[in-house]
Amino acid sequence: MGYVSAVPVPQPRAARVAVPTGGRRSLAAALFLGALGATVVLLSAGQIWAEGTASVGGGTVPVEADGGAVTGVPTALAIVGLAALFAVFAVRRTGRTLVAALLALSGAGAVLAAVLGASDSAALDAEAARISGDTAAAVAGLTHTAWPYVTAAGAALILLAGLLALRFGKTWPAMGGRYERSGTPRTARKAPTVDPDRPEDLWKALDRGEDPTRGE
């Protein structure tokens, strides 16, 4: 009866390449916050931001303006931020930092544009002039809704997602890991020769996911 010498069982490689727990949490948080923020901005920008009345033919008619009429900046930046959010996983190192910065700046710019738009009356004045046919017409009884601030809150979530990407992005996985930095596929390495009479070689082949009997 032959005896097989005891050989230490190698630890699975997955344990060595797993994403740290903190990295997984920050990744999930950034994805959730960025997607939620962009959705909020895109939806709230289509709501009524300002209301008032315009004088027409001796009477008054109500006029209103949605977020897109007041300013299209939050919507545009939300789209840019959403694209940057998913582009973060397609790049590495310096490229990832730059894309994360773009994500954060998109959120910050959308916040600023929404806050400034909350007190803007130009869109309503333009609507009053269109309705009355008087280019000098101005809106009376101007009021603003809460939607600009909802838009700003959504944009703040995009900003937070960008800050998370800047802080923890280096620990996140990247797509296309089989490619080198030059963009060309890595050359497959020749599998080491497995000696069937050496138990340690058999264990190493199994650890690499190879069939040690395929050459027989």
Q: What's the average pLDDT block by block, 10 residues per block, for the chain (216 residues)?
A: 50 47 79 95 93 75 85 95 88 87 96 92 78 68 89 97 90 60 51 58 64 55
Q: Give the Cα separation of 35 and 24 in Å (integer).
A: 17
Beta strands 140-144 and 48-56: pairing type?
Answer: antiparallel
Longest Cα–Cα distance in the chain: 112
pLDDT, position 94: 86
Q: In this structure, are residues 85 and 27 in contact, taking their beta carbons and an 8 Å threshold? A: no
Measured between alpha carbons, how far is residue 16 from residues 11, 12, 28 in Å?
A: 9, 8, 21
One-letter amino acid of 29: A
Give the model's pLDDT for residue 199. 59
Is 215 exposed, middle or buried, given 0-12, 13-18 or 19+ CB atoms closer than 10 A?
exposed
Tokens (6 digits) for 111: 């916040």
- What pLDDT was estimated at residue 213? 57
Contact present, 198 and 192 (Cβ < 8 Å): no
Asked if residues 123 and 25 have their Cβ atoms less than 8 Å apart, the reply is no
56 forms beta bridges with: 59
In the chain the domains, ranked by start, together with CATH numbers, are 21-172 (1.20.140), 190-216 (no CATH)
- What pLDDT, on the 0 to 100 scale, is given for residue 16? 43
pLDDT at residue 15 in the model: 41
Q: Which two tokens stand for residue 185?
A: 């596929």
- In terms of Cα–Cα distance, which of 215, 179, 58, 54 is closest to 127? 54
pLDDT at 20: 54
What's residue 146's pLDDT? 94
Strand, helix or coil for residue 27: helix
Predicted confidence at residue 33, as pLDDT, reads 94
Q: Which pLDDT belongs to residue 61?
A: 78
| CA–CA dist 54, 125 (Å, integer) | 9
Contacts with 133 (C-beta within 8 Å, 6 or more apart), sequence order: none
Tell me what pLDDT residue 98 has: 93
Residue 51: per-residue pLDDT: 86
